[in-house]
Amino acid sequence: MNIALIQQPATVDKERNLRQGLASARAAAEAGAKLICFAELAFDRFFPQEPAAGDVAKFAETIPGPVTEPFQELAREFGVVIVLNLFELAAGKTYDASPVIDADGSILGVTRMVHIAEYECFHEQSYYTPGDRGAQVYETACGKIGVAICYDRHYPEYMRALGVAGAELVIVPQAGAVGEWPDGLYEAELQVAAFQNGYFTALCNRVGKEPKLEFSGESFVCDPSGRVIAQAGSGTEEILYCDIDLQQVADSHARSLFYRDRRPELYADWIR
């Protein structure tokens, strides 16, 4: 199965960003991709680089809404699965959210970021309500897919929950800046998650210079053995394609050994 990670910048012109994203998704589908993924807040500037001022709900939108609906149409047209990320407004609250669109254009569900960061240039707690839907796994036309939105990937409990729920591929919409992490750690974190949990991981990052941050790109895919099998360039605007074989999930060490020997009856007493 061929997957495509859309690594693109975002300007202050949301309509332009959306047109570019739709054109890239169409190009990926025409190239044979069956699953298409986007970075965190792919069609907006990265709001949390500055502390929130006033009512941030004016920047958010509903799901379905003006971003999801054209991608639903594209998914139906090409029979592809699409994972987006956007600033969601629901019942008066705002979330960092990833709708998962199946190959028939239906929205299977919306993952909301659970863990909310708060540090320099990532003032997310003033924008996002903590997610209330847990670590969801979706039965898509491309297999069982989970989503770990940016900061959630740092929590082994969350990444394990996706594996226990049966995820074969975990998509990570990311807003990662140049120099944010020590050399090697950027990839290593998801290499370990892939190996320990026996699934593919696919991180899709932004690129481009914004007022306080420069996003690094370097989107990548790991297989269930923990190897990086594809990676995009640093700062480049591109579509990263990668062929994956979900049979590797069933054959992984995690699925044949680690899950078999788990002792979950003990863990609740160890983790608080």
pLDDT of 104 above 90:
yes
Fold of 2-267: Nitrilase/N-carbamoyl-D-aminoacid amidohydrolase (3.60.110)
pLDDT of residue 35: 98
**Class of residue 110 by CB neighbours under 10 A (exposed 0-12, middle 13-18, buried 19+):** buried
pLDDT of residue 111: 98
Residue 112 pLDDT grade (very low, low, confident, very high; cuts 50, 70, 90): very high
DSSP 126-150: GT-PPPSS-S-EEEETTEEEEE--G
Q: What is the pTM of this model?
A: 0.97
Average model confidence (pLDDT) across the chain: 96
pLDDT of residue 272: 73
| Paired strand residues for 97 | 86, 112
Give the tens place of pLDDT for each residue, 140-157: 999 999 999 999 999 999
Residue 167 · residue 173 · CB < 8 Å: no
CA angle at 172 for the pair 142 and 195, rounded to the nearest 5°? 80
Give the tens place of pLDDT for each residue, 92-102: 999 999 999 99
**How many other C-beta atoms can be found within 10 angstroms of the C-beta atom of residue 84?**
27
First to last CA, the chain: 39
| Paired strand residues for 233 | none
| Paired strand residues for 25 | none
pLDDT of residue 182: 80
**Residues 216, 196, 172, 6, CA torsion sign:** positive
Nearest CA-CA partner of 199 in 164, 231, 232:
164
pLDDT of residue 271: 77
Residue 130 · residue 207 · CB < 8 Å: no
Domain regions of the chain by residue span: 2-267
pLDDT of 46 above 80:
yes
pLDDT of 268 above 90:
no
* Type of residue found at 238: E
pLDDT of 174 above 90:
yes
pLDDT of residue 173: 98
Q: Can you say how many angstroms the Cα of residue 270 is from the centroid of all Cα atoms in its chain?
A: 29
Give the tens place of pLDDT for each residue, 199-258: 999 999 999 999 999 999 999 999 999 999 999 999 999 999 999 999 999 999 999 999
pLDDT of residue 226: 98
pLDDT of residue 57: 96
pLDDT of 184 above 80:
no
